[in-house]
Chain A
Amino acid sequence: MGSDLFEISVNIGKMLGIFLLMVQMVPLLVWVERRGSAFIQNRFGPNRVGPLGLTQLLADAVKFLFKEEFRPPASVAFLYYAAPVLALIPGALAFASIPLAPPFEVTFNGQTYKFLFQVFDLGIGIVFVLGISSLGAYALLFAGWGSGNKYSLMGALRASAQMISYELALGLSLVGILLIFGTFSFSEMVEMQRGPLSFTFLGQPTTISFLPNWGIFYQPLGFILFFAATFAETNRAPFDLPEAEAELVAGYHTEYGGLKMLMFYIGEYGHMMVASALATTFYFGGYELPFGSESLQQSFSPLAYSFILFGCFLTKVLVFLWIFIWVRWTLPRFRYDQLMDLGWKTMLPWALFNTVLTAVVVVLFHSSGS
């Protein structure tokens, strides 16, 4: 955590800040989702409360706070109350391990401290995030089994079966990225994506100056597989079978209301943010600017430069979040057998193909010259 009081307090402040950033994005995203869906479907959406309906969020929050507290007698009390709390934890931990900007240095009381722009750096980034997010299934199983309703249980079972099926395609699509970068650490990956596109082609160093050195140019198929799998992992449409209202009422959170319901939403949007941040880090250069980072770095102080890059990261994440919302209101839902077929019989073989192809290409590009 740190060696003295200043370092510890800054680290704790950073931790709270990053967690609150994740929680604070939720009302904004709900607003974007409602206005965006209205825009897509040629409606108005919430536009009464405040300018553009922006304070609708505040009104909703007050409403959620004053909802009646209710627990169905058929439920298991501990599981019923633990599930919404548990829904928050994997997303928060995973988001905390992603670097949002380069580390910065602060001088205080004549001492120089170096702070990471993330809560902790384990050096095994990818595996930690995969491990932590595999615990996400338990929040759903707690909720589904704990609320004593058969629709909840069915929704939870579907959700966990779907999550584990797509975790395979997700994990396998990342093998290609590991082959390219050769590291588990997020910050090292982002470092490697700096500057113009440059690689060794048949032993010759090649540079394409008008493209940034982003992972997407090495792993286009891997990116498509990864991004599709994250939709299933976050239970978003078109993979929102666990809450298919036509058959399951509202899936695993049928028996929830008020703030407890809201916490499941925070969990879902938190997973979306983690997925977007991961896609940005792996395939779109993380916090690195595509162009002109050298001149910016010289004209700003290191701390200000860190915050500019943080803004760049946030912009990329917001683009992905909009794509999540856009897809939800554009594509219809799958049927359950189609969903499982897509995961096991289409995406898994393609991810394997991507792995083998990447391995062959890496060998070919390196071997001929040197």
Chain B
Amino acid sequence: MDAIVPILVLTLIVATFGSLLVYVSSILGPKKHATHAKYMPYECGLPGQESSKTNVSVRYYLTAILFIVFDIEILFMYPWALTYREFVEAGHGAYIFWVMFVFIALFVFGLVWEVRSKALEWD
């Protein structure tokens, strides 16, 4: 709660600093009339072949959705890791280990299945 105020203030400071840099460079720089060629999207000297709004490979989608699932699984490991030593010191080490071992076994099964199904192949 107390920490959110500095976060907000710092975000404001950084955003102001950044916008100021962009603004200053737009004032100080020379203003030239640009030619038609300069206004084209940069391409290695040739006229552009295709628009930038082309389709994106479905692999990006697969990567993103697999990332979400694994990210959530990892986030569940964080509270586990945080309390692990307390459980161990209370004498429940084996219990808390097997709780997560089952979870990690499911994680590994999913990962192996995806590798075997070639969902993670890029070519």
Do A and B have CB atoms closer than 8 angstroms in the complex?
A: yes
In the complex, chain A residues whose CB is within 8 Å of the CB of B29: 66-69, 258
Contact indicator B70/A168 (Cβ below 8 Å): yes
In the complex, chain A residues whose CB is within 8 Å of the CB of B40: 72
Segment at the interface with B among A33-41, A46-54, A88-96, A319-327: A88-96
A278 to B104: give the CA distance in the assembly, Å. 26
A363 to B100: give the CA distance in the assembly, Å. 13
Residue B46, interface by CB 8 Å? no
Contact indicator B93/A85 (Cβ below 8 Å): no
In the complex, chain A residues whose CB is within 8 Å of the CB of B48: 150
Q: Least Cβ distance of A266 to chain B in Å?
A: 9
Q: Which of A23, A171, A176, A345 contacts B71 (CB 8 A)?
A: A171
Contact indicator A184/B41 (Cβ below 8 Å): no
Also in contact, A168 and B67, with CB within 8 A (given A15-B6, A148-B41): yes
Residue A208, interface by CB 8 Å? no
A229 to B7: give the CA distance in the assembly, Å. 26
Also in contact, A183 and B18, with CB within 8 A (given A89-B11, A92-B10): no
Contact indicator B123/A93 (Cβ below 8 Å): no
Also in contact, A11 and B81, with CB within 8 A (given A165-B63, A171-B74, A367-B88): no
Contact indicator A85/B30 (Cβ below 8 Å): no
Q: Which of B5, B64, B81, B120 contacts A178 (CB 8 A)?
A: B81
Contact indicator B101/A356 (Cβ below 8 Å): yes
A238 to B69: give the CA distance in the assembly, Å. 27
Contact indicator B3/A92 (Cβ below 8 Å): no
Please give me the residue from chain A that is nearest to B112 by CB atom.
Answer: A349
Chain B, residues 32-44, CB within 8 Å of chain A (1/0): the string is: 1010001111111
A161 to B63: give the CA distance in the assembly, Å. 7
Q: State the main secondary structure of chain B at its contact with A.
A: helix
Contact indicator B18/A68 (Cβ below 8 Å): no
Also in contact, A150 and B41, with CB within 8 A (given A119-B10, A168-B74): yes
Q: Which of B3, B94, B122, B123 contacts A121 (CB 8 A)?
A: B3
Chain B, residues 7-31, CB within 8 Å of chain A (1/0): the string is: 1011101110111011011101111
Also in contact, A157 and B67, with CB within 8 A (given A150-B50, A249-B44, A367-B88): no
Q: Least Cβ distance of B11 to chain A in Å?
A: 6
Please give me the residue from chain A that is nearest to B50 by CB atom.
Answer: A150
Contact indicator B3/A122 (Cβ below 8 Å): yes
Q: Least Cβ distance of B52 to chain A in Å?
A: 4
In the complex, chain A residues whose CB is within 8 Å of the CB of B75: 171
Q: Least Cβ distance of A334 to chain B in Å?
A: 11
Residue A182, interface by CB 8 Å? yes
Contact indicator B120/A150 (Cβ below 8 Å): no
In the complex, chain A residues whose CB is within 8 Å of the CB of B97: 359-360, 363
> What are 20 A-to-B residue pairs whose CB atoms are below 8 Å?
A19-B10, A19-B13, A23-B17, A66-B30, A68-B30, A72-B41, A74-B41, A152-B52, A153-B52, A164-B63, A168-B70, A179-B84, A183-B82, A249-B43, A341-B120, A344-B115, A344-B120, A345-B120, A355-B77, A366-B85
Known interface pairs A96-B6, A157-B56; 12 further A-B residue pairs with C-beta atoms within 8 A, sorted by A's residue number: A65-B25, A68-B31, A69-B31, A85-B15, A85-B18, A96-B10, A161-B63, A171-B71, A176-B81, A182-B82, A258-B25, A352-B111
Q: Which residues of B contact A (CB under 8 A)?
A: 2-3, 5-7, 9-11, 13-15, 17-19, 21-22, 24-26, 28-32, 34, 38-44, 48, 50-52, 54, 56, 60, 63-64, 67, 70-71, 74-75, 77-78, 81-86, 88-89, 93-94, 97, 100-101, 104, 107-108, 111, 115, 120-123
